[in-house]
Chain A
Amino acid sequence: GAGVSQSPSNKVTEKGKDVELRCDPISGHTALYWYRQSLGQGLEFLIYFQGNSAPDKSGLPSDRFSAERTGGSVSTLTIQRTQQEDSAVYLCASSLRVAGPYNEQFFGPGTRLTVL
């Protein structure tokens, strides 16, 4: 079946512009996660959606970052007034189970964001 898809695959923007990154999770997966990898850094958790519960936003680095998940499926990560330090690969993942240790996460191919 189809895996997690993300769009765009690459995005170049100017400092101060807003960007939207999209994630389509695997059908039927109730949990959806956003991570990012900045140059030379590990994968950093940003936000987590679990079914209809309030999202865990504890990883969002500033109030310029927000995310929503419509209809329990597609998610959009929005970065307002982008800064050069926002340049990174943004990865989305989804998992079948809402919770539990065996919730193997399936990752999308990522969006490479470059802020000039």
Chain B
Amino acid sequence: ILNVEQSPQSLHVQEGDSTNFTCSFPSSNFYALHWYRWETAKSPEALFVMTLNGDEKKKGRISATLNTKEGYSYLYIKGSQPEDSATYLCAFLYNQGGKLIFGQGTELSVKP
């Protein structure tokens, strides 16, 4: 059974704090790892697609790293803002077919 786990389940931080969350996935048969942001009342939105061990991606204050050998990815948010409040989902792609296996998500709440 392919299992993707995310931690923590939820996180409450103050505006300006930097934060990070973890996504763990099977290290065998790795094809890609996707990160999505899901804001309340909106559709999930892709943040990053990562494929290579050691990959680092950055979009503004958000960045992600990937370790395929040990099966984990970190998502970092520098200087959190209230608009960063959302659920952050990672999803594991283990073959070319596009079937994503999602983690349960990390719910981030940023207080002004």
* Residues of A bordering B, CB below 8 Å: 3-4, 31, 33, 35, 41-45, 48, 50, 56, 58-59, 91, 93, 95, 98-110
Contacts and interface: CB of A to CB of B under 8 A. Distances in A.
Given A107-B43, A109-B42, A110-B43, A101 B49 contact: yes
A101 B46 contact: no
Contacts of A56: 97, 99
A16 to B, nearest CB: 30
B51 interface: yes
Contacts of B21: none
Contacts, number: 70
20 contacts: A3-B43, A33-B98, A33-B99, A42-B89, A43-B89, A43-B91, A43-B105, A45-B101, A50-B97, A56-B99, A91-B43, A93-B44, A99-B96, A99-B97, A101-B49, A101-B93, A101-B96, A102-B51, A104-B49, A105-B98
Contacts of B105: 42-43
B102 interface: yes
A42 B104 contact: yes
A4 B89 contact: no
Interface residues of B, number: 25
Nearest to A108: B43
* Prevailing SS type, chain A contact patch: loop
Interface of B: 4, 31-32, 34, 36, 42-46, 49, 51, 89, 91, 93, 96-105
Given A33-B98, A91-B43, 8 more contacts: A33-B100, A43-B105, A45-B101, A56-B97, A101-B49, A102-B32, A104-B46, A106-B43
A50 B96 CA distance: 11
Contacts of A109: 42-43
A3 B102 CA distance: 22
Contacts of A43: 44, 89, 91, 100, 102, 105
A6 B102 CA distance: 21
